[in-house]
Amino acid sequence: MSTITFADIGVERRISEVLAQRGIEQPFPVQEMVIPRALEGEDLQVKAPTGSGKTLAFGLPLIQGIPATAQGPCALVLAPTRELATQITEELAPLARARGIRTATVVGGVDIVRQAKGAKTAQLVVATPGRLIDLVRRRLIDLRQVTSLVLDEADRMLDMGFMPQVNDIVALLTTERQTMLFSATLGPQVADLADKLTNRAVRLEASGDPAASAPIGERLDQSFVACAHSARTDTLLDLLRDEDGLTIVFCRTKRGAARLAEKLEGAGLSAGALHGDLTQRQRERALKSFAQGRTRILAATDVASRGIDLDDLQLVVNFDPPEDHDTYTHRVGRTARAGRSGRAVTLVAPDQAADVGRIAARLGLDEHWADTGYAQSGPRVVYRSRGRRGPTPRPAAASRPRPPAAAGGNRVRRGSRTA
């Protein structure tokens, strides 16, 4: 944690006082790096890990830069999931009120007309791309006065296929805007997107709170448990009966999460489900019950792998293993946040061992993987066919094509510079 204060990096006194009332008196590294540059109006490309404090890093400059007399949206934050958008609004709303700034959340699953009434007059709007485009197309919101844009979790935005909507939204904004892009990774696709959306941006890389952003192998008690498919539920029940804190159990499918929650309830455990088939009200109710401890176990799809930040979450279980190392990192990153301890357990059936073994190797978890008794996996080979003449290896499929530029191309793109 830094020894300087928020006032030292340009945050207004009335906002600093609200932060102090919440026990936040000194900025995390990402906030110390981002806030002064954002207050100067610079475009930024920021690589920041989960739990690093990036919401305040972009939120405080947005709030401080909005005139209290402004009518309608002046600042816009785009997030990939409803849960993350809601969490961002909840964190920023008390700070915005200190300056007389109104906030609104624009997400699916909520009555669109009622939602539009709040968004039309709010100066700060936090939205998922799909629902925001719905409002724009129905002429229920005007984005022409937006002068500050933030893309949070840009890598996830790409993964979920939101770039056409993002490009449509960007095309509606003034070219005289400030753009800040935050991402857990800045690989080629994300970097290319960042260069398209920003103008002479400064590229920053934040380590986050040292206690919270250490390599996951140091922050978590991680283990991989070998078990047959038919024994997974019993193995899970054995794990959960030894726990008294909050636990998220990740499943691959929406139906799987719902069925598992029913099985856990039938076994006498307090469990709920969180997945994409629920309405927004149902999802909010499930999260609220879980956060307040009325539901101790949440069976969830990857909709919960980002946007849930609970200090008391002690255990993450991968009932169905993740598809790749990034998903694994985001799942287990729900626990051991802000320097707290946590556990992550992944159940691995024999036919999943090769894929999960590669994830473990990629993350440097070979020692943990060895406890399963499975052999360490080599690199993946994709086969063309299984005909009588034998399999012919071919390289793994190429990455997805670069997302198209925003309609109208309303910026001269000059790349980025590294600070």
Mean pLDDT, the chain, rounded, equals 84
Provide φ and ψ at 136, rounded to 5°.
-65, -45
Q: For residue range 59-95, list pLDDT tens digits in order.
A: 999 999 998 788 899 999 999 988 889 989 999 999 9
Residues 115 and 102: beta-carbon distance below 8 Å? no
Q: Which of 128, 182, 133 is nearest to 155 (CA)?
A: 182
Q: Does 9 have pLDDT greater than 90? A: yes
Q: Assign residue 252 a region: left if phi > 0, alpha if psi is -120 to 50, beta otherwise?
A: alpha
Percent of the residues in the chain that have a pLDDT greater than 90, as a whole number: 54
Q: For residue range 288-324, list pLDDT tens digits in order.
A: 899 888 999 999 998 777 667 676 788 999 999 999 8
Q: Does 131 have pLDDT greater than 80? A: yes
Residues 192 and 259 in one domain: no
Is residue 390 situated within a structural domain?
Answer: no
Residues 181 and 51 in one domain: yes
State the Cα–Cα distance between residues 146 and 167, nearest whole angstrom. 15
Is residue 39 situated within a structural domain?
Answer: yes
Residues 303 and 128: beta-carbon distance below 8 Å? no
pLDDT grade for 338, boundaries at 50, 70 and 90: low
Residues 180 and 255 in one domain: no
Residues 181 and 416: beta-carbon distance below 8 Å? no
Q: For residue range 31-41, list pLDDT tens digits in order.
A: 999 999 999 99
Instruction: Give pLDDT, residue 412.
Output: 39
Question: Where are the alpha helices (H) located in 242-291, listed in sequence order?
Answer: 254-266, 280-291
Instruction: Give pLDDT, residue 331.
Output: 87
Instruction: Give pLDDT, residue 105.
Output: 95
Instruction: Give pLDDT, residue 375.
Output: 78
Place of tokens 């100067």: 40
- Which residues, other chains included, contact 139 with Cβ-Cβ below 8 Å and sequence gap of 6+? none
**119 exposure class (CB count in 10 Å sphere: 0-12, 13-18, 19+):** buried
Q: For residue range 354-368, list pLDDT tens digits in order.
A: 999 999 998 888 888
Q: How many residues does the chain have?
A: 419
Residues 142 and 222 in one domain: no
State the Cα–Cα distance between residues 406 and 419, nearest whole angstrom. 26
Give the Cα-Cα-Cα angle 224, 227, 229 (nearest 5 degrees): 125
Q: Does 150 have pLDDT greater than 90? A: yes
Q: What are 155's two structure tokens? A: 């890598």
Residues 102 and 232 in one domain: no
Instruction: Give pLDDT, residue 416.
Output: 57
State in Å, rounded, how far the first CA of the chain is from the last one: 20
| Cβ count near 186 (within 10 Å) | 22
Q: Does 394 have pLDDT greater than 70? A: no
- Which residues, other chains included, contact 413 with Cβ-Cβ below 8 Å and sequence gap of 6+? 195, 196, 198, 199
Residue 113's domain is classified under what CATH number? 3.40.50.300
Q: What are 53's two structure tokens? A: 């404090």
Q: Does 400 have pLDDT greater than 70? A: no
Q: For residue range 166-219, list pLDDT tens digits in order.
A: 999 999 999 999 999 999 888 788 888 889 999 999 999 876 444 444 444 466
Is residue 35 situated within a structural domain?
Answer: yes
Q: Which domain holds residue 296?
A: 216-370
How many distinct structural domains can be found in the chain? 2
State the Cα–Cα distance between residues 179 and 201, nearest whole angstrom. 8
Instruction: Give pLDDT, residue 190.
Output: 86
Residues 199 and 324 in one domain: no
pLDDT grade for 156, boundaries at 50, 70 and 90: confident
Is residue 375 situated within a structural domain?
Answer: no
| Cβ count near 362 (within 10 Å) | 13
Q: What is each CA distance from 164 to 105, 167, 205, in whole angstroms? A: 21, 5, 27
| Cβ count near 87 (within 10 Å) | 20
Residues 154 and 237 in one domain: no
